[in-house]
Structure 1
Amino acid sequence: MSGPTVFVLNTGSSSVKYRLLDASTGEAHADGIVERVGEPGSGVPDHAAAIERILADLDGPALDAVGHRVVHGGARFTEAVVIDADVEAAIEELAPLAPLHNPPALAGIRAARRALPGVPHVAVFDTAFHHTLPLAASTYAIDAELAARHDVRRYGFHGTSYRIVSERAAELLGRPLAELRMVVLHLGNGASAAAIDRGRSVDTSMGLTPLEGLVMGTRSGDLDPAIPLYLARHAGLDVDALDALLNRRSGLLGLARRSDMRDVVEAATGGDRAAGLALDVYLHRIRHYIGAYAAVLGGIDALVFTAGVGENSAPVRAGAVEGLSFLGIAVDAAANNAADDGARCISPADGPVAVLVVPTDEEWQIARETAAVTRR
């Protein structure tokens, strides 16, 4: 049975990804990407031109709604919302919390609303899934008045991925989501971990921004907060240089001069010492979070890998669980190494903790939430 047709837009600073799909089944009618938006010679001067190009080539059923991925919803947006002028203004106000993400998303929203004025537009926020974080997990131990004045708290990200992946994991196990304690690892170029207690996020590794937590392709993840101060005083790095260092020149790139995990694993396997160290640091951080979140949850029923690295890198999955048998976490080597791109269990049949690989589908989740909001 077909459902609403939703046009999903994921607008980045220099690209616009899109998918036209059935919100009920996830069936895609069209998808693609326009890249090099705003770059000289690209022929796509801005996001409005990119969306015009997409719509001119779009072939499929009539649209019922447009769903927009927005990274940061702050404390205000705890669920998807129909976009109006007030919502646009709020997304713009939140730009300092996600300067690389919210401004292009807003540009895409405004361009799409102008091009498609006859259908509802919905904002789906990466942060919304984590609004259930308890205060003990979301509060930073800094001056409380200063934190409140500037909205400093843990927000978390990758929420649309966590929502659909946790639901799919429960389906794969044949158990109600409401009785499962999961640690989910969203491992892509950006990476995070979440402790999900019976469907609710109770802790997550990204914080005020997507910089905190796991080692990523170009982001440092966790580090001593005095390091930027030290580098400012002794290496002469200003705020912009520190931002570039931690977000664009750290992580795997900073350690191994490679940001793609496939290249890092290949180099490490070939004996490259820098790549080997980068992989060790990456896996050490993941194990750190698995153990911490098992403690937060008071036990763990399932460990779930998702996103590009989590779904496709058997060496990373094996390394991430190495030494965790005391928690009941292990992988079956044959199952882990099997050529399979679907949802699957890779732990031993008698393992007390299910280790799963569950492909994410953030576009479908955005479509589902968009359809739900517009039906109200």
Structure 2
Amino acid sequence: MHRLLAALDHPERTLPPVIHIAGTNGKGSTQAMLRAGLEAEGARVHAYTSPHLVRFHERIRLAGTLVSEAELSDLLDAVDAANAGAPITFFEVTTCAALLAFARHPADWLLLEVGLGGRLDATNVVDRPAMTIITPVSFDHEQYLGDTLAAIAGEKAGILKPGVPCVVAPQTPEAQAVIEARAEAIGAPLHVHGRDWMAWSERGRLVVQDDRGLADLPLPCLRGAHQIVNAGTAVAALRLLGRSDAALSGAVTRAEWPARLQRLVHGPLTQAAPQAELWLDGGHNPAAGRVLAEALAAMPARPTHLICGMLNTKDVSGFLRPLAEVTRSLTCVSIPGAQATLPAEATCAAGTAAGHTATTAASVTEALAAIVAREPGARVLICGSLYLAGEVLAENG
């Protein structure tokens, strides 16, 4: 990254103020709420996120607008020419292209989401961000980040910078200890959940408390109890930055983030199952399985079924196990076009081992048809991968 950015005349040195976000779960939702909040008070906000759901252009948002096809092509050509055939990865190329775009376009803020880990991530090239954020750390990508929470937290804490404040979302004691040790070692001031700020829901409202007092806000428009944590993290960050009440309200009421417990209400899938209640979520690790199970349990009683496709790098049983307690059946599919897809039969075997009544189907459409043939008014959650979620959103219009 440093070699290629030098060849591009160091765009990472001429960026708007950067908020760098790492963590296992909630990075994207927290970023979406930060963006909504900053834009609510009129700020121009760049944002970088991954992976995309339907179009690659979703990864690079320039002052509120997705990068155009023509500009993206020019950016990638420029990066390819500067790289001159040297060894490079897809994510390094695309991150350099994004940084080049962000440096070329004026904005008030840049929200930079880590791709994987933090310490060695391609985004970790900004020497002095305005703020860093670490969302909850849990198990994922163990083959790269380590097989203990301490090891994974150490990678996430690699985005900390001397003198740069970091907002820390709720963590396990093991992860918290690692983050605090790293912060102390380099002199990074922490704004820690449970010590410096807290967030909870009360009487249909979101309450965030810090040394500035109480903020009484609407519940986040993104669904699920886990979004209380993400909304609290975003609001705590905005308050630490000294943003307005309009930003706090905008963060929780205006955020849009597809495939995060998203209700599908239009398109061919809903037309094929008019009496059913369809939901879509891209969560794919054990922590996501737990929060999805909690969200389903909190919904009004309704027969609930899963359609699931996962990658072969994930802890499939760990994701599915908590969901077995709140669902009647599991139908497994392979993810179209994903080279690393786990075959439906393997997902089925893992689901059975996790306590599900599991079967397979050739597609989401076929799986949905079989479920509603048995229970027309079922609640159906399509889940297991952002790649599957992207395919569903693309096919469903």
TM-score (norm 2): 0.32
TM-score (norm 1): 0.33
